[in-house]
Amino acid sequence: MYVATQYGISGSTAREIAASVERGVADGALGPGAALPPVRRLADDLGVSPGTVATAYKELRRRGIVVTRGRGGTVVAAVPAVASRRPPKVPEGLRDLAGGHPDPRLLPTLVPPSRLSPGARSHRSTPRLGRLEHVVREWLRPDGVPVEHVTFAHGALDLIGRLLSVELWPGDAVAMEDPGYHHLLDLVTALGLRSVPVAVDDEGMRADALRTALRAGARAVVCSPRGQNPYGGCFSPARRAELLDVLRDEPDVLVVENDHTSAVADVPLRSLASGGLTRWVHVRTVSKFLGADLRWAAAACDATTLARHDGRLLLTSGWVSHLLQETVHGLMTDEGTRALVSRARETYALRRTALLRELAGRGIAAHGVSGMNVWVPVADESAVVNGLRSYGWWVAAGARFRISSGPGVRISVAGLEPADALRLASDFAAVLGESEATYGG
């Protein structure tokens, strides 16, 4: 049954028809996967030409609201650009291991700077505090990241979204990790771009899969050098070299390296940024170790990327709040905060390896060589999520993170004590046994 009988698409022009469909998606009346009427049928219903409906559908596809599946017709996108996927609300009484948040006990207390921004002045002429630029360079340089050109943004997603919107046109392809960070996948769709899946393993993005994506026309690559979310992969020296061999043959491709765990990563950075690429940007945020409410990111990049990013920033928000920059500078130069970050890095590594050890002891394969998450491949995501719910655990179904990779669940370990890991692994094994008995494996 087509949605015309369930939701009244209206309009006499292509713009009005597209707007009507968008309202239905935004309001939830047209859910992901809902089929739209065939062009001719809707044209007859509305008394317009088939060309008018076809133009409306084309606009909706361009904006990432619908997709066309050949003979399957036109359907609402799995992640429509008018409504980014939000995680399900954690049911009352369950232990939340789905959110991916740092342990609040390992975050510093946020105190606004005592030196407030003086009265009116042109922040646009000096968008970055010089002393914070210095701290950023000292932060990046030991890892081999070139620091000649640095800039700031309102978080990694803000910076990546700005760059992709400047560099690419709607319909262009972006090589994305699969499984990968769901907010980045949503962002690409919202910009009207296409995600081309690139498989990952314990060493991060696979070079053969990246080569295939680039041959398919990807004009940008977004990857994580360590702490890959949700799989936990980390570039090895060999993998870094393989990826650089692929990327050097594509000098016009923008390489975005998202080092989101940075200061709390317990593995070394093997950055692509130092590999002699033409177009690149290395992004770091502080949300995992200073606090999620600090919407600030630092980036090092080539000169062209700097000019394009900062040019667009100048025309939108103009600059990153100097009050925010002062707060970040104060925390990053505070010895007590540095000691707390060091303790957080050791704690997260201990908690992650404890869960991996307990799962392995029960014959459960899992991935998480770095970062704050563990990825467990499963046959039936819903059965595992619901099964663990009955034991008091709330984990993330892998569907939010996947493009074409196999099913799994993501477990955030930042707040999971080793003693809790033992109980979770035992419950996980029990759920898998129950799932096998119910669904036949």
pLDDT digits (tens, 9 = 90+) for 23-49: 888 878 888 889 999 999 999 999 999
Specify whether the CB–CB gap between 271 and 281 falls below 8 A: no
- ∠ CA 139-143-221, nearest 5°, is 100
Q: What is the pLDDT of residue 83?
A: 56
Average pLDDT over residues 190-211: 95
DSSP code string of 110-165: P---SS---SS--TTTS-S-HHHHHHHHHHHGGGT---SSEEEESSHHHHHHHHHH
Lowest mean pLDDT among 182-191, 344-353, 420-429: 182-191
Specify whether the CB–CB gap between 321 and 203 falls below 8 A: no
State yes or no: pLDDT of 64 exceeds 80: no
Query: What tokens were used for 386?
Result: 């619901």
The conformation of residue 35, written as its DSSP 8-state character, comes to B
Give phi and psi for 260, each to the nearest 5.
Answer: -70, -20
Q: Which residues of 109-118 are buried (b: 16+ CB within 10 A; e: fewer)?
A: eeeeeeeeee
Average pLDDT over residues 324-349: 96
pLDDT digits (tens, 9 = 90+) for 118-173: 555 667 778 999 999 999 999 999 999 999 999 999 999 999 999 999 999 988 99
Q: What is the pLDDT of residue 82?
A: 63
Q: How far apart, in whole angstroms, are the C-alpha atoms of residue 179 and residue 205?
A: 10
The conformation of residue 392, written as its DSSP 8-state character, comes to T
Q: How far apart, in whole angstroms, are the C-alpha atoms of residue 196 and residue 213?
A: 6
Lowest mean pLDDT among 68-82, 276-290, 307-321, 375-389: 68-82
At a CB cut-off of 8 Å and minimum separation 6, what does 427 contact?
388, 391, 393
Q: What is the pLDDT of residue 175?
A: 98
Q: What is the mean pLDDT of the chain?
A: 91
Q: Which residues of 32-64 are buried (b: 16+ CB within 10 A; e: fewer)?
A: eebbbbebeebbebbebeeebbbbbbebbbebb
Q: What is the pLDDT of residue 3?
A: 44
Q: How confident is the model at residue 319 (pLDDT cuts 50, 70, 90)?
A: very high
Q: What is the pLDDT of residue 419?
A: 93
Contacts by 388-394, CB closer than 8 A, 24 or more apart? 388/427, 388/428, 388/431, 389/91, 389/94, 391/427, 391/430, 391/431, 392/93, 392/94, 392/95, 393/94, 393/95, 393/97, 393/424, 393/427, 394/90, 394/91, 394/94, 394/95, 394/96, 394/97, 394/98
Q: How far apart, in whole angstroms, are the C-alpha atoms of residue 67 and residue 412?
A: 32
Q: What is the pLDDT of residue 5?
A: 43
Q: How far apart, in whole angstroms, are the C-alpha atoms of residue 144 and residue 273?
A: 8
State yes or no: pLDDT of 299 exceeds 70: yes
Q: What is the pLDDT of residue 33?
A: 86
pLDDT digits (tens, 9 = 90+) for 105-119: 999 998 777 666 555
Which alpha helices (DSSP H) does 248-371 contain, by range?
Answer: 303-315, 322-332, 335-361
- Helix then strand count (H, E) for the chain reads 13, 15
Q: Beta-carbon neighbour count of residue 203 at 10 Å? A: 20
- CA nearest to 322, candidates 131, 44, 52: 131
Q: What is the pLDDT of residue 4?
A: 40
Only one residue has tokens 């680039």, namely 214
pLDDT digits (tens, 9 = 90+) for 223-238: 999 999 999 999 999 9
Q: What percent of the chain has pLDDT over 70?
A: 93
Q: What is the pLDDT of residue 366?
A: 98
Q: How confident is the model at residue 67 (pLDDT cuts 50, 70, 90)?
A: confident
Q: What percent of the chain has pLDDT over 90?
A: 77
Q: What is the pLDDT of residue 91?
A: 87
pLDDT digits (tens, 9 = 90+) for 161-190: 999 999 999 889 999 999 999 999 999 988
- CA nearest to 171, candidates 218, 210, 221: 218
The conformation of residue 64, written as its DSSP 8-state character, comes to T
Q: How confident is the model at residue 341 (pLDDT cuts 50, 70, 90)?
A: very high
Q: How confident is the model at residue 90 (pLDDT cuts 50, 70, 90)?
A: confident
Q: What is the pLDDT of residue 86?
A: 62
Q: What is the pLDDT of residue 421?
A: 97
Q: Which helix (H) or strand (E) holds 385?
A: helix 381-390
- Whole-model pTM: value is 0.84
Only one residue has tokens 């991060």, namely 204
Measure CA of the first residue to CA of the last residue in the chain; give whole Å.
33
At a CB cut-off of 8 Å and minimum separation 6, what does 127 contact?
152, 310, 313, 314, 318, 319, 320
How many angstroms separate the Cα of 323 from the Cα of each of 112, 113, 132?
A: 8, 7, 12
